[in-house]
Structure 1
Amino acid sequence: MSDSGLKIFVFALSILSLAWLCCGFNPVDNYLIDCGSISDTTVGDRVFLADNSTSNTLSTPKNIFAKSSTSVTSSDDSLLYQTARILDGTSKYSFSIQQPGRHWIRLYFYPFVHDSYNMSKANFDVSTQDHVLMSNFSVNSNVVKEFSVNVTSSSLEITFTPSSNSFAFLNAFEVVSVPDTLITDGASTFNPLGKFQGMLSQALETIFRVNMGGPTILPENDTLGRTWVPDQSFLINKNSATNISRISAVKYVDGGATPNIAPNTVYGTATMMNSADNPSSNFNVTWQFNVDPGFQYLVRFHFCDIVSKGLNDLYFDVYIDSWIVSNDLDPSVLLFNTLAGALYLDFVTALTVNNKLLVSIGPSSLPNVSPNAILNGLEIMKMNNSLGSLSRSASLLSDSSSKKNVGMIVGLTFGAVIAVVLAAIIFMLCRKRKKLARQGYSKTWIPLSISGGHSHTVGSKYSNGTTVSVDSNLGYRIPFVAVQEATNNFDESWVIGIGGFGKVYKGALNDGTKVAVKRGNPRSQQGLAEFQTEIEMLSQFRHRHLVSLIGYCDEKNEMILIYEYMENGTLKGHLYGSGRPSLSWKERLEICIGAARGLHYLHTGYAKAVIHRDVKSANILLDENLMAKVADFGLSKTGPEIDQTHVSTAVKGSFGYLDPEYFRRQQLTEKSDVYSFGVVLFEVLCARPVIDPTLPREMVNLAEWAMKWQKKGQLEQIIDPTLVGKVRPDSLRKFGETAEKCLADFGVDRPSMGDVLWNLEYALQLQEVVVPGDPEENSTNMIGELSPQINNFSHVDISVSTAQFGASSVDDLSGASMSKVFSQLVKSEGR
């Protein structure tokens, strides 16, 4: 071949390659349906077929087409929102699948009023053969829900199940094949470290798809018909970031991303750390996203170094929440030293425990590296839970109507007899309840279930009819009418707090007893299990440093817990954010000592330890005398058996307080509470949040930041400004050493709560009492090593406790007096 012929061949090959990239992926299965429409609808370069198309089959009780009376212009897909199909009863779409594998299911919703159907009132579930996609779904504005499922059979069924006395609707949908390479088993995990296994079978819901530093990308500009949104609304501090665009520089190379992973308009723009060439810049760029707690998430980062002018010029760190997921990342190195190569990295989070997910980038700590960091794109996808559900409130839907029919026959057969019996029972209960409501509550509460084994069913709004049996010694039920009366019918002006379980109201029983009433939120992830655990745990405990459970109510589909009222609220509220007066150092020490006593009792007061699992300043409450009481036992769990070292369980707790060893290994011990309490100690000392993404990078995580100063011996540099000059150095040193020991990386290296309690008592003594000639006055290692001189403090400790709490209260309700506690702590055989 001549030189000119070779050039023509190479040119033609280049044109063909470019054309292949432009045409994108050609899906084998490609169902696009405009529901309720009698004609095809063109959106961009895609054609949505009329609803009567033979490409799918629909089984539905009624054929109801709806057309909007007004022009809908709320989105670029507005044509799809002009019509809808009403599904007034359980309905099923069936699709023939030519190529099994991963498929996208996109559902379009826009509620408008049609005849007697107001679509904003619709409430329904959506499921496939294997997964619940949505449960109790309703919508007030246009939305597209995108799911990714792995279809392993020759058909896909999508079932719409309206809630009782409601209906379902749908404006349009897509069922489309996606490339097998789009979702692989290559995601990394940091709990535990390694690779996530089983991603191919996961159902995913796209929660966010973000184009960092760039504009909105519409489906017609994406090879897989995706929409990417700008990142500005998710940035916590917009001044920390700047944008950059170099779309022409993007390269797709072997081993990296492809145009199907993300278009070059994603990789060619980026949000960059706004360091302004300042070599001392040291902060993170952070985005915040709202998520559903109780799920794991696949987080996909898109990187392309369009910033550097040469190789090995850009190194940075990547975080999810407070966990570093990539250290000293250089995107070019990962692509065999290709500058501006498109790259993506997948990470799977641990089970989320709150409704915020933070993603951050920040400068590397490597020497001689300019501070900079970039992110080009981000995708966050919810993963189905162990029930195969992507919905917080879903239980798997039964696909067998025969069971319902059998139940109906049995119900009709025995209905008359049951009705008579129930009527008699209800009549007697109503009379008794009215009588109880008039008489008061001190001796009239009804047990949740009698010991004969009968059970009580908590309403379906919380548990989908789950039945829970609790022995009669597990607390008492307060009538709902009494709870209403105590809270002035749940007066919003009486709300004193809002947590994961629901709102907390101040109230008063008819005998004048002040109470705190925690009313479960039906949308809360903390539902039946936490409600039952709280009753089971607190009904067993009687200790002056644990909040007392007065009763509960589970009538009318409610889950309500009634506690003793704590006049001074949470410890957290006294430290920052609420405007309350600052606590003195002595008050803080006494509060920490009280909380430590409560946790020590949990760990040692029974045959098996009880592990709180959510120790934090918000769960330490203060009465009118600022005496501390540990609260919120919804996540508590009994400890390991005698012949075991730990309990294997899913990770639960609050970020910033969570034991990293428990997080990594999912192995729970009492030392997990000790770690969390160590974080609380630093929180008490510094009076700032445990996680604050608005601060410079090295200060975001309180525990890490405080430990650096503690190890330098300069803890006084970061204490609450209101304490400056008011803390004796020895007391501060002892307090810091105690917190440091609590935060040891490995549980075996942490002290017991008994040791922590002893050292906090000693820190209080060092603040209040000067002991001449004490050889341990300047000790740097009290935990686990008690000198003979320390034994002489036992009489001082008891007298101080007696003075503080009164002689009659020296003995805890657990039966362990301070003298006994200290004798066990001091004697080697008692430790």
Structure 2
Amino acid sequence: MMGYRKFDLCIWVLSILSFGCFCSGFTPVDNYLIDCGSLANTSVGNRVYLADKLASNFLSTPKDVLASSPLKSITSFDDSPLYQTARIFTGSSKYTFSISLTGRHWIRLYFYPFVSGSYDLSKAKFSVSTQNYGLLSDFSVQNSSVMKEFSVNVNSGSLVVTFTPSSGSFAFLNAIEVVSVPDTLITDDATTTTPGKFQGLMSQALETTWRVNMGGPFVSFENDTLWRTWVPDRDYLVSKNLAKDVSNVAAVEYGEGLATADSAPRTVYGTLTEMNSAGDPNTNYNVTWEFKVDSGFQYLLRFHFCDIVSKGLNQLYFNVYFDSWIVAQDLDLSTIAVNKLATPYYLDYVTTSVVSDTIRISIGPSSLNNAYPNAILNGLEIMKMNNSDGHLGGASGAVNSNSSSKSNVGVIVGATVGSLIAVVLAAILFILCRRRKDKANQGHSKTWAPFSMNGTNSHTMGSKYSYGTTASAASNYQYRFPFGVVQEATNNFDESWVIGIGGFGKVYKGEFNDGTKVAVKRGNPRSQQGLAEFRTEIEMLSQFRHRHLVSLIGYCDDKSEMILIYEYMENGTLKSHLYGSGLPSLSWKARLEICIGSARGLHYLHTGDAKAVIHRDVKSANILLDENLMAKVADFGLSKTGPELDQTHVSTAVKGSFGYLDPEYFRRQQLTEKSDVYSFGVVLFEVLCARPVIDPSLPREMVNLAEWAMKWQKKGQLEQIIDPTLAGKIRPDSLRKFAETAEKCLADYGVDRPSMGDVLWNLEYALQLQEAVIQDPEDNSTNVIGELSPQVNNFNHIDTTGSPGQFEVSSVDDLSGVSMSRVFSQLVKSEGR
């Protein structure tokens, strides 16, 4: 492995030797080891391979042809006595093994091409199969040794391995293993690219394509309880300078119910590759590995993790990617291991059918937590899954092979042509559906109809520095719930179960038969919000997953209904905890943490994709609280995809909630992420002052909270109008930082407002100032909001009428400089959009 010093090598050798004795090992019920072509038993490590002549009762072949070679030119890596002899098959030949215990078994096949007499083994071409699976197809080996490892589920009393020479050729084999595998090694399900679990792994035949020890040395079969080998990862890193190796084998402690020594040895879990952040807290990149694979197959990826780098719990959050898909987001290993560090854990993931001969695996920092950016990976296994015909055939990269993988041209061409045909058909279908939809919509724009999730929109998640995950609206069909199920869950939409009323309709508390509590939003046909908001909500929430965004559980479009089903948030809206409901007052720390959580959710929307997602309706009623008062942003019915990279804004009709609406957006109909920032600034003052953002019952100068609060902030006397229950409970520095942040959010022009990332940074700093006296590094940090923004204009009142409820402007002239105070003061219902 590149870069190791002699001292490091000594440490590795000692580690391997010291832990070798702990490989007590799994004892297989079936354990067939045969050294093909050998006249005597062969010992390899602590295992004994049966001589070929003693295994003749397992073999049925038309002709006995044995071969041997001194192996003069192979490397020490391949130097095994198993490669010195071989059996040659001139016709179809079978090994038949009696199986004592059904279940998954290893099949390991050893090949090394040498010349023996008239046989040049590098010229051999053949196929290998079992009763149910095709393992190799038109297989040949050139120049170096190859070990092919498969695992198949044997459900009968025998396993037959058949070698079939290709036309005009022959087959050969140096050694074969058929060994029982622990039942727990491969479970039936795994995560996958679409929502839900992949199920059916038990029936899959698997070929181990790669088994890699990240950040560590080569691990031989002698140091693995299941006789596996692990290769170092350095040769597969795309940018080696972005990664560094860490070793702490002694720290590894296997945890009950998680990974075991059979999952991977200590020498894998005790070493890792991590980001080479070089002390820079602003580091933001991915560490990426690239592997050759066979196209046209799905793969089971097993990621091995063990946090041997953190000094405390909940310090390490990171993301894991496969190509353009996200495997795990905001992964916190200490939570999985029940508040323990250095506990091994593995994650299984099933890919889509791979269309390229190369896949990429990446790890990168999470945007969830402002802790030091880092990401780790201890080990990786890449296992090819059989196709629908039960075949694994194709020239794939092999475990312990020095030869490069060959491309399966037929599969690639087939996949390419198939993909092209699929695209053409999809385009034709889309055009037909669009024409039908346009025709149906003529004269019926407000008619409700069942919503079928057959859209073609897709979204990609992930930081701008990383590979994201693509989810299609077409995959959301599995979220669909029958109307009867929803009706039963809500006690036939019992009015006493109503927990909220919004612009879309009523929200009911519900409970499914398995005890899962949900919030059910039932659309009101008379509402001004309809199909567009319904579709947007499903498309947005079915693609995004973040701990500070409310999760969509499902939807129902039966019987012309439009029903959305969310996770149940025990403590309702932030608004209800600030005023009007009689609930106990929140502490300043709790309010700060709620603001921070909300900011994280919005920051993710703005930056978690190549194109930002603008919420467009940020308000305290759309920030929900779970049983622990953790904040989650909700209601994505008005959300809009942000501008393209070469654009500064999206031109669109004005929508939003009065009191929270961005004045620049209102005047120019130009929507940007900064529109959400403005609305969030209003929420910050709402949290601080605990009063409605629009209250017509108050004197005119107090009607609009944003204008009123900014007036007192400008005078430096904001503490005069804060929630009385907070009086004397907020540290002055914390209040100052919080107020400056809110003020900057309310700048009249978007370019003067901070990003949500900067807002998040400052809110977290306000929390630090509240909890401990620390120096304010405001002038030394690029993330801190610096000079105060120009104050919100002191508008002159004009006679402008407005109606409560949904506010939508289809055409508005540029109203730069025109006051909105009068508009706000006429509104009674702040909940209307």
TM-score, structure 2 length as denominator?
A: 0.51
Tell me if the contact between 2:44 and 2:81 (Cα under 8 Å) persists in the aligned partners.
yes
Label 1:122 to 1:266 Cα distance change in 2 as closer, same or farther (>3 A): same
Alignment of 1:239-278 (within 5 A): 239-278=241-280
Match for residue 411 of structure 1?
none
Give me the whole-angstrom Cα distance separating, in 2, the residues matched to 1:532 and 1:372. Answer: 40
Give me the whole-angstrom Cα distance separating, in 2, the residues matched to 1:19 and 1:27. Answer: 19
Candidates 72, 81, 84, aligned match of 2:83:
81
Aligned-pair distance for 1:305? Answer: 0.9
Label 1:153 to 1:324 Cα distance change in 2 as closer, same or farther (>3 A): same
**Structure 2 residue 705 is the aligned partner of structure 1 residue 704:** no
2:48 maps to a residue whose letter is: V
Give me the whole-angstrom Cα distance separating, in 1, the residues matched to 2:372 and 2:260. Answer: 30
1:133 maps to a residue whose letter is: L
Tell me if the contact between 2:244 and 2:273 (Cα under 8 Å) persists in the aligned partners.
yes
Q: Deviations over 1:330-363 (max 9, x none)?
A: 2122111122111111111222232222221111
1:202 maps to a residue whose letter is: Q
Q: Deviations over 1:32-65 (max 9, x none)?
A: 1111111111111111111112475111111111
**Structure 2 residue 527 is the aligned partner of structure 1 residue 526:** no
Match for residue 499 of structure 2?
none
Give me the whole-angstrom Cα distance separating, in 2, the residues matched to 1:657 and 1:178. Answer: 33
Match for residue 51 of structure 1?
52
Structure 2 SS opposite 1:340: coil
Give me the whole-angstrom Cα distance separating, in 2, the residues matched to 1:213 and 1:265. Answer: 10
Aligned-pair distance for 1:215? Answer: 0.5
Alignment of 1:271-290 (within 5 A): 271-290=273-292
Structure 1 SS opposite 2:258: coil
**Structure 2 residue 307 is the aligned partner of structure 1 residue 305:** yes
1:130 maps to a residue whose letter is: N
RMSD of the TM alignment (CA)? 4.8
Give me the whole-angstrom Cα distance separating, in 2, the residues matched to 1:36 and 1:245. Answer: 42
Alignment of 1:533-572 (within 5 A): 533=421
Match for residue 339 of structure 1?
341
Q: Deviations over 1:679-713 (max 9, x none)?
A: xxxxxxxxxxxxxxxxxxx99x9992233699999
Match for residue 486 of structure 2?
none
Match for residue 372 of structure 2?
370
Match for residue 178 of structure 2?
175
Tell me if the contact between 2:611 and 2:644 (Cα under 8 Å) persists in the aligned partners.
no
Q: Deviations over 1:177-199 (max 9, x none)?
A: 11111111242223233x22211
Label 1:49 to 1:341 Cα distance change in 2 as closer, same or farther (>3 A): same
Structure 2 SS opposite 1:153: coil
Candidates 382, 385, 405, aligned match of 2:384:
382
Aligned-pair distance for 1:714? Answer: 13
Tell me if the contact between 2:642 and 2:650 (Cα under 8 Å) persists in the aligned partners.
no
Give me the whole-angstrom Cα distance separating, in 2, the residues matched to 1:360 and 1:130. Answer: 35
Match for residue 114 of structure 2?
112
Label 1:244 to 1:86 Cα distance change in 2 as closer, same or farther (>3 A): same
Give me the whole-angstrom Cα distance separating, in 1, the residues matched to 2:471 and 2:614. Answer: 20
Match for residue 431 of structure 1?
none
Aligned-pair distance for 1:70? Answer: 4.5
Match for residue 39 of structure 1?
40
Label 1:312 to 1:360 Cα distance change in 2 as closer, same or farther (>3 A): same
Aligned-pair distance for 1:605? Answer: 10
Give me the whole-angstrom Cα distance separating, in 2, the residues matched to 1:786 and 1:139. Answer: 69
Label 1:38 to 1:702 Cα distance change in 2 as closer, same or farther (>3 A): farther
Tell me if the contact between 2:453 and 2:474 (Cα under 8 Å) persists in the aligned partners.
no
Q: Deviations over 1:415-434 (max 9, x none)?
A: xxxxxxxxxxxxxxxxxxxx
Give me the whole-angstrom Cα distance separating, in 1, the residues matched to 2:294 and 2:305. Answer: 26
Give me the whole-angstrom Cα distance separating, in 2, the residues matched to 1:199 and 1:299. Answer: 12
Q: Deviations over 1:376-430 (max 9, x none)?
A: 1111111112211112599xxxxxxxxxxxxxxxxxxxxxxxxxxxxxxxxxxxx
Aligned-pair distance for 1:528? Answer: 10
Tell me if the contact between 1:316 and 1:327 (Cα under 8 Å) persists in the aligned partners.
yes
Match for residue 662 of structure 1?
474
2:46 maps to a residue whose letter is: D
Aligned-pair distance for 1:787? Answer: 8.1
Give me the whole-angstrom Cα distance separating, in 1, the residues matched to 2:268 and 2:167. Answer: 44
**Structure 2 residue 51 is the aligned partner of structure 1 residue 223:** no
**Structure 2 residue 79 is the aligned partner of structure 1 residue 191:** no
1:603 maps to a residue whose letter is: I
**Structure 2 residue 134 is the aligned partner of structure 1 residue 150:** no
Match for residue 502 of structure 2?
none
Give me the whole-angstrom Cα distance separating, in 1, the residues matched to 2:421 and 2:199. Answer: 32
Give me the whole-angstrom Cα distance separating, in 2, the residues matched to 1:308 and 1:606. Answer: 53
Candidates 287, 299, 317, aligned match of 1:315:
317
Give me the whole-angstrom Cα distance separating, in 2, the residues matched to 1:197 and 1:714. Answer: 34
TM-score, structure 1 length as denominator?
A: 0.51
Candidates 226, 233, 236, aligned match of 2:235:
233
Aligned-pair distance for 1:728? Answer: 12
Give me the whole-angstrom Cα distance separating, in 1, the residues matched to 2:476 and 2:453. Answer: 14
Match for residue 599 of structure 2?
none
Tell me if the contact between 1:185 and 1:199 (Cα under 8 Å) persists in the aligned partners.
yes
Give me the whole-angstrom Cα distance separating, in 1, the residues matched to 2:424 and 2:320. Answer: 40
Give me the whole-angstrom Cα distance separating, in 2, the residues matched to 1:785 and 1:205. Answer: 60
1:59 maps to a residue whose letter is: S
Match for residue 63 of structure 1?
64
Structure 2 SS opposite 1:187: strand
Tell me if the contact between 1:56 and 1:95 (Cα under 8 Å) persists in the aligned partners.
no
Give me the whole-angstrom Cα distance separating, in 2, the residues matched to 1:710 and 1:529. Answer: 40
1:707 maps to a residue whose letter is: A
Tell me if the contact between 1:43 and 1:77 (Cα under 8 Å) persists in the aligned partners.
no
Give me the whole-angstrom Cα distance separating, in 2, the residues matched to 1:79 and 1:380. Answer: 27
Label 1:602 to 1:328 Cα distance change in 2 as closer, same or farther (>3 A): closer
Tell me if the contact between 1:55 and 1:95 (Cα under 8 Å) persists in the aligned partners.
no
Alignment of 1:308-457 (within 5 A): 308-392=310-394
Tell me if the contact between 1:132 and 1:388 (Cα under 8 Å) persists in the aligned partners.
yes
Aligned-pair distance for 1:203? Answer: 0.7
Q: Deviations over 1:700-737 (max 9, x none)?
A: x9992233699999989944xxxx9xx99989x99x99
Tell me if the contact between 1:113 and 1:119 (Cα under 8 Å) persists in the aligned partners.
yes
Match for residue 617 of structure 1?
none
Tell me if the contact between 1:191 and 1:665 (Cα under 8 Å) persists in the aligned partners.
no
Match for residue 515 of structure 1?
none
Give me the whole-angstrom Cα distance separating, in 2, the residues matched to 1:359 and 1:266. Answer: 17
Label 1:355 to 1:527 Cα distance change in 2 as closer, same or farther (>3 A): closer
Q: Deviations over 1:270-324 (max 9, x none)?
A: 1011112321111111112222222221111111111012222222122222222
Give me the whole-angstrom Cα distance separating, in 2, the residues matched to 1:646 and 1:123. Answer: 48
Match for residue 471 of structure 1?
none
Aligned-pair distance for 1:114? Answer: 2.3
2:178 maps to a residue whose letter is: V
1:268 maps to a residue whose letter is: G
Tell me if the contact between 2:30 and 2:101 (Cα under 8 Å) persists in the aligned partners.
yes
Structure 2 SS opposite 1:125: strand
Structure 1: which 5+ residue stretches go unaligned? 1-17, 395-501, 503-519, 539-597, 610-641, 676-697, 739-783, 790-831
Q: Deviations over 1:427-449 (max 9, x none)?
A: xxxxxxxxxxxxxxxxxxxxxxx
Match for residue 101 of structure 2?
99
